[in-house]
Amino acid sequence: MATKLADLDGLVKGAIERRQMGTGRPVSSMTPDAINRGRSVAIKRVELARLKDKLVQVQGENSKSIVELGNQQAMLDIEHRAIKETMELVSQI
């Protein structure tokens, strides 16, 4: 334990000397705000990719729904014509 404390003291003393001499360089030249923005940009990119995938999925579902609605409309048109023809036959009687 004593050697670890001595090593730690040596590291602190060395850091102070390097700082005073101007030879040490900071761990990061970025401000905490810039670091947080960098993190948030990465998070937002992941979220944007997820949302794009979701958009593609929803567009596919919408396309299927539109096709299904078109088929239903065609069936309704056929039924409407059949009812119209039946009404014309009934009116002739």
Share of the chain above pLDDT 70, in %: 90
* SS3 labels along 6-49: HHHHHHHHHHHHHHHHCCCCCCCCCCHHHHHHHHHHHHHHHHHH
Query: What is the reported pLDDT for 54?
Result: 96
In this prediction the pTM is 0.48
Assign 25 a pLDDT band (cuts: 50, 70, 90).
low
Torsion of CA 12, 14, 15, 16, to 10 degrees: 90
Question: What's the full length of the chain, in residues?
Answer: 93
Q: What is the pLDDT of residues 41-74, one digit of tens each?
A: 888 999 999 999 999 999 999 999 999 999 999 9
Q: Is the CB of residue 18 less than 8 Å from the CB of residue 24?
A: yes
